[in-house]
Structure 1
Amino acid sequence: MAAAAALTATTAAPWVRAQALEKTKVTIAVGGKNLFYYLPLTIAEELGYFKAEGLDVNIVDFAGGARALQAVVGGSADAVSGAFEHTVNMQFKGQPMRAFVLQGLAPQIVLGVNPKTLPNFKSIADLKGKKIGVTAPGSSTNIMLNFVLAKAGLKPSDVSVIGVGASNGAVAAMRSGQIDAISNLDPVITLLQRSGDLRIVVDTRKPAEAERVFGGPMPAGCLYAPVPFVDKHPNTVQALTNAMVRANKWIQQAGAGDIIKVVPESYLLGDRAVYIDGFLASKPALSPDGAFPAKGAETAFRALGSVDDKLAAAKLDLNAVYTNAFVQKANAKYPKG
């Protein structure tokens, strides 16, 4: 009898949990799912953490974060796995978004030049008039490029920005000389660096360098959604956060070999050694617990304002673009992941 009761309790648990969720089927849009920037999302999916929370998650991959954001604005996705600064930009545009769990402590974006087309590169000023590849126009790779250009006295219009994606297309564009520089992420960066097709200029995979570049903590990849979605679906958002916090903690304890066993083969871009190097370079920039730094929204606002005078002059409620409430509960539930 006791065994039967225990079996009933075990089988009922997912049903009971799912009943408590306002929405069990959730679509998440992401721009470049194979990137280490979004590794916690893949880990949560592949290790079944979303399912363990009673969620049926569909992840739709786009060429860049700006396109993933468009999917949510257009209503074809519920949430975005994307760059934190989009939440600041969207409040300015009157379409408020709220970030609820962090994936990246630092942007992990690397700006590098092409040694073939710019052999005599000396400073950012040398990029004037050049072609620069980003994952997609308007994405975080583009925003960081604009910020670095602004610090050197250049406007976004002083360069030609070309969307090259976040995979083999980006690698091919550099190797063929179609672009003179690139703002992108791992594993693309490590692949280009190893083959001698990239000279690194700015490296925000290192949290300390990211803080120097941006003048403060710059939160990176996160899950965010329209504020009405977060307000109407608190249990669903909590379930998503629980899964992501577990993934963050699993990554912190994992070795490169563990990661390779979990991620899809296509993520390796044909070179396991490069993927391992990329993971080791990016791991320090991944969040250990999903929490947003207190001054992160201010840093993102300054970065965006440096290339947009209207945004810089705007009075925004930066406390409204993120919350740590869901993360605090997730960490209490899964103290060890």
Structure 2
Amino acid sequence: MTDCCSTSTQTAELCACDEGIDLLDDAPSASAIQIHPFTRREVLKYMGGFVLTGFLAACGQTASAPGTRDGATVQAGKNGGKLQKLDLAFCSQVLCVLPFEVAKQQGYFEEAGYDVNLVYMKGGTQAITALLSKGVDFVGTPMDLVVRSVDEGKDVRMVASTSRLPFFALVTAPEQAEAITSVAGLAGKRVGVGNLGTTDDLLLRTLAVKNKIDPEEIESVALGPNLADTLLRGEVDAGMVQEPALTLVTEKGGRLLANFMDLKETTETLGGAYQFMGLNTRPDVIEEQPDTLRALARALVRANAWILEHSGADIVKAAPEELVAGGNTEVFAKALDRYKQSLYPGDGIIEEANVRRVVDAQRAAGLIDEGKEIDLSSLFTNEFIESQG
């Protein structure tokens, strides 16, 4: 296997050979997936520039077995007992990662008996690919990708909700604010999204249909998890952004066209809350590792409770600063205070009505064939939440 620490390729500077966060690269099969020991700072720095492609295996290390790292257990730091190691992959949008980072940083995973390695992916699509190829057994991704997978005949199931609203808002570039005054004005325009086929892209298509635009008339441009700078430079005409990017762009003159972080506006557009992020896995994992799923779900519920009980100023400390648009943690903290009660459920329950809206939105956007029914029970289960009493 190539030792990238000795190569002169553009990826060599990422091969620091130190302990750090793992990154799963794109792979069509489990055997092709490799774990890369890059530091989180290095990974997120390059994610911001959207050049995380074609990584070689780092420092001669081989891939870990699915769901584990370097053996089954490790001595716990707090209680002296043994922790089971596992990888949990998720998309790297800043609001998405908070429950997972809080669960790790507050010790909730460890108290449940697990040493969880958080795997930052380029997007939810890559995380789902890793799950389906059995590169990992647990991922945090939006319900949209669960629906897309099931619609294509691939079994994925959500077992706990970490957010019940999408973390996105549609805003114009400042220089386009006068020309684009509504969603209808996006026909023929370039709109930045984190990645193609993920929730922000799907919601953009849904908005197009509701505004009587053919989604194909809007050019979706994949820009990675932090597209604020590209939007401010006017390299795209509009973008699906999170906070604090939304505040930063509107302060510079961008026009807000739709805000899915606001429950009232989401209800007006979609009819109610829209199941977004959650803990997802495969049916074989549900059958073989129920205790692990119950423990992870419990830790994430505790993390969301912590988020709801704390100020934005405290919560923002759990966010990787490399993912905070503009590095403006003060703006981000204020946004968390404004939206957290709407975004993060305190009980982890997945509401059927919210899942149905995801399916309905995809059908309206032309992603699900007319007349095709999707069994909602094949998309999620609350058994690991409800069994905790």
State the shift of 1:320 in Å. 2.1
State the shift of 1:221 in Å. 1.0
Structure 1 unaligned regions, length at least 5: 1-9, 19-23, 333-337
Contact 1:301 1:312 in 2 (8 A): no
Aligned counterparts of 1:211 and 1:38: Cα–Cα separation in 2: 24
Normalised to the residue count of structure 1, the TM-score between the two structures is 0.86
Aligned pair count? 310
Which of residues 358, 361, 367 in structure 2 aligns to 1:300? 358
Aligned counterparts of 1:242 and 1:211: Cα–Cα separation in 2: 29
Aligned counterparts of 1:218 and 1:190: Cα–Cα separation in 2: 22
User: What residue in structure 2 maps to residue 52 of structure 1?
Assistant: 111
User: What residue in structure 2 maps to residue 236 of structure 1?
Assistant: 292
Aligned counterparts of 1:77 and 1:185: Cα–Cα separation in 2: 27
Matches within 5 A, 1:168-179: 170-179=227-236
Aligned counterparts of 2:377 and 2:264: Cα–Cα separation in 1: 24
Which of residues 336, 342, 345 in structure 2 aligns to 1:287? 345
Pairing 1:98–2:178 present: no
Deviations 1:181-219 (A, max 9, x none): 10122232223223x152111111112221221123311
User: What residue in structure 1 maps to residue 92 of structure 2?
Assistant: 32
Matches within 5 A, 1:217-228: 217-228=273-284
Contact 2:275 2:354 in 1 (8 A): yes
Q: Which amino acid aligns with 1:62?
A: M
User: What residue in structure 1 maps to residue 259 of structure 2?
Assistant: 203
User: What residue in structure 1 maps to residue 305 of structure 2?
Assistant: 249
Aligned counterparts of 2:166 and 2:181: Cα–Cα separation in 1: 24
Contact 2:165 2:274 in 1 (8 A): yes
Contact 1:110 1:189 in 2 (8 A): yes
* SS of 1:37 mapped into structure 2: helix
Aligned counterparts of 2:367 and 2:334: Cα–Cα separation in 1: 39
Q: Which amino acid aligns with 2:90?
A: V
Aligned counterparts of 1:262 and 1:139: Cα–Cα separation in 2: 24
Contact 1:114 1:177 in 2 (8 A): yes
User: What residue in structure 2 maps to residue 4 of structure 1?
Assistant: none
* SS of 1:295 mapped into structure 2: helix
User: What residue in structure 1 maps to residue 14 of structure 2?
Assistant: none
* SS of 1:279 mapped into structure 2: helix
Higher helix share: 1
Q: Which amino acid aligns with 1:277?
A: K
User: What residue in structure 1 maps to residue 4 of structure 2?
Assistant: none
Cα RMSD after superposing both structures:
2.0
State the shift of 1:134 in Å. 0.3
Aligned counterparts of 1:265 and 1:115: Cα–Cα separation in 2: 25
User: What residue in structure 2 maps to residue 273 of structure 1?
Assistant: 330
Contact 2:86 2:117 in 1 (8 A): yes
User: What residue in structure 2 maps to residue 311 of structure 1?
Assistant: 369
Pairing 1:140–2:140 present: no
User: What residue in structure 2 maps to residue 185 of structure 1?
Assistant: 242
Deviant stretches of 4+, over 4 Å: none
User: What residue in structure 2 maps to residue 7 of structure 1?
Assistant: none
Which of residues 137, 141, 145 in structure 2 aligns to 1:82? 141
Using CA pairs under 8 Å that are at least 6 residues apart, name the structure with larger relative contact order, 1 or 2.
1
Greater displacement, 311-320 / 290-299: 311-320
